[in-house]
Amino acid sequence: MSQHRVIVIGSGIAGVSAAFALARRGAAVTVVDAALTGQATAASAGIISPWASSADGPLYDLYAAGAVFYPRLIELLAEAGVERTDYRRVGALIVSADPARLAEAQARVEARARTAGGAVGDVRRIGNDDVRALCPVLARDLEGVFVSGGGRVDGRTLRDALLAGAEHHGAVHVREKAVLRPRPHGAPLVEAGSGTLEADDVVVASGAWANDLLAPFGTRLAVEPQRGQITHLRLDGVDTSGWPSVNPLSHHYLVAFDDSRVAAGATRETGSGFDARVTAEGQRQVLSDALGIAPGLADATLIETRVGLRPLADGALPAVGALPGVPGLHVVTGFGAVGLTMAPYAGDLLARSILERSTPAELAAFAPSA
């Protein structure tokens, strides 16, 4: 019996997650991607700790399930010979100078911990001395809630790990721009460079660019690009490897990594279009937000600022599943700022859906509409 052939268009976190999940289940996978400037995953540093989020309903369910899935994902990658992912459970630190806001966040996390099967870990309220013991650069007026189950991951490293895992299971990576061509029967054809590829199923996982690919089918998803600027700083000689991620109950955050590096971000610039520039205002906002909660970063070296164009879903729900009216065509996009948490699990569910020809219950709320 011949292998089920699947073409995945896009090598961001959504695409490589689906490719890895399909390939490890035995599908013949081809990943096609042109590495467009502004890929969201290439700019992202992720906090894997959804439990304090204001999200609810199916969106929160997918968000939380994504965090629970991570340890299993790391095991599957290790089985494929991929050891480096830069994922680590270092804990998450929610901080504020407002005791009432912290109490509200703690209550929300503790309520969710009761149904999370141990993934949340310990949740405890801590004073400023303990806050600064965990992350010495933070301001002296901040108190915190520490969530031991929180993790962090570097988007570029995880993307590369998942692609390597998919290739270990036989996937092929084609570095070309893809164009979809409808045909009367079967999945669309994929033009890539000077060649044409054919498969049993095609997955559009091209993030904010998904609608460009879907245009020949007269359909458009409610997804638009949202620019995010994130700045990487280095604290020379400082061991940042064990610092927890820092969430000040706002749009911005700090994520520390092993090489004395701290990522500070990120802007959420809705309406940016496909403009992937670092802007003066974006840089000012990121640094102002970071130094406002972490004045100890003032003397850090600014290494670089990365820009990603997130696929932001209008109405908050991502689109994951088969596209109505087009046999063999599937989409996975619209995760906004939380793709590093949601997309690995969503990609695994989509792989099941494609190969088993049955939509998992967890994806029912995310079915794309034509």
* 81-94 pLDDT tens trace: 999 999 999 999 99
Go through the domains of the chain in sequence order and give each one's CATH number: 5-42+156-223+315-363 (3.50.50.60), 89-150+224-311 (3.30.9.10)
Q: What is the pLDDT of residue 36?
A: 85
Q: Which of 101, 340, 121 is nearest to 244 (CA)?
A: 121
Mean of the per-residue pLDDT values of the chain: 95
Q: Determine contact, residues 318/366, Cβ cutoff 8 Å.
A: yes
- pLDDT digits 0-9 by tens, 159-191: 999 999 999 999 999 999 999 999 988 899 999
Strand partners, 153: 46
Residue 284 CB neighbours (<10 A): 11
Kindly tell me if the per-residue pLDDT of 199 is higher than 90: yes
Q: Determine contact, residues 300/144, Cβ cutoff 8 Å.
A: no
The predicted model scores a pTM of 0.96
> In sequence order, what E strands does 22-126 have?
28-32, 45-48, 92-96, 123-126
Kindly tell me if the per-residue pLDDT of 273 is higher than 70: yes
Region of residue 111 (phi > 0: left; psi between -120 and 50: alpha; otherwise: beta): alpha
User: If you average pLDDT over residues 121-144, what whole number do you get?
Assistant: 98
The secondary element (H helix, E strand) that includes residue 254 is strand 253-256
Least confident of 120-129, 245-254, 291-300: 245-254
